[in-house]
Amino acid sequence: MIQVENLHKKFGKNEVLKGVDLNIDDGGIFAVLGPNGSGKTTLIKSILGMVVSNKGSIAVSGRSIKKNWRYRKDINYLPQIANFPGNLKVRELIRMIKDLRQMPSEEEKLIELFQLEPFLGKKLSTLSGGTKQKVNLVLAFMFDCPLLILDEPTTGLDPASLIRLKELIQKEKANGKTILITSHIMQFVAEVADEIIYLLEGKIYFKGGIEQLKTKTSQTDLEHAIAAIATTPADA
């Protein structure tokens, strides 16, 4: 699904990605983890073409993303911070994105699922953080695309919505989609992820299943395994 080769990215003097090589197969849930500032969002934004890399190449569904924008038709993206134009109403925003993408969508089901009906006529600037995140989720899940990229999907969600989100993710996985998630909530990652991609200082430090990670770090739960991974030598 995604091939990343020798990806470098600098912001000024700050070298964020230092040669990332990554191969993500079709289908399954991949969790991109790493400490703050390890380059998770930069990697995701590079795949989306929002960040222009200094060196290296990225291909999505076998097509290079350079000077290409059509490949984004295959991607649904959930941004980390739900920044929406504040003067639009929720309904207008959903209609606008539908109009821009011109794809069949199933927003009604999602609006019902996240109980957003009372907010449809409200302006986005008046919504609470959690409600904004729900709108964000509706926008990210309403189209049927083979690749889903979710940057911190759990931010601000109440427990009931979190359960619905997990169900939604599992349903999409069952449909054979590839899902890329970043999160700092290890419990959530442990529940949904099939594979862990651990970024440290701009490089892929570990890629593999959760069990593999636990044995490698000789820890019994994921949270401690992740905390311990940076101190474990790479070849251990």
Partner 1 sequence: MLKILKYSFYDLIRSRWSYVYFLFYLILGFVLLFLNNDVSKAVITLMNIIIILVPLIGTIFGVMYYYNSKEFIELLLAQPIKRSSIFLGQYLGVAGSLTLSLVLGLGIPFVLYGLFKSDAIFDFTLLLVTGAFLTMIFTALSFNIALSNENKIKGFGYAVLLWLFLAVIYDGLFLMSLIIFKEYPLDSFSLAATMFNPIDLSRTLILLKLDISALLGYTGAVFKQFFGTNQGLIISMLMLVLWTVVPIWRLVYKSKKKDF
Residues at the site binding partner 1, with contacts judged by CB under 8 A? 11, 45, 48-52, 69-73, 75, 77, 79, 83-88, 96-97, 99-101
CB of 171 to partner 1, least distance (A): 22
Whether the CB-CB separation of 218 and 211 falls below 8 Å is answered with no
CB nearer partner 1, residue 10 or residue 224: 10
Whole-angstrom Cα distance, residue 49 to residue 6?
Answer: 16
Among all chains, which residue has been given the structure tokens 């820890």?
219
CB of 199 to partner 1, least distance (A): 18
Q: How far is CA 204 from CA 19, 121, 139, 156, 195, in A?
A: 9, 44, 30, 28, 13
CB nearer partner 1, residue 66 or residue 171: 66
CB nearer partner 1, residue 36 or residue 102: 102
CB of 227 to partner 1, least distance (A): 30
CB of 73 to partner 1, least distance (A): 4
CB nearer partner 1, residue 125 or residue 218: 125
φ/ψ bin of 217: left (φ > 0), alpha (ψ from -120 to 50), beta (otherwise): alpha
Residue 183 carries which side chain, given as an amino acid letter?
S
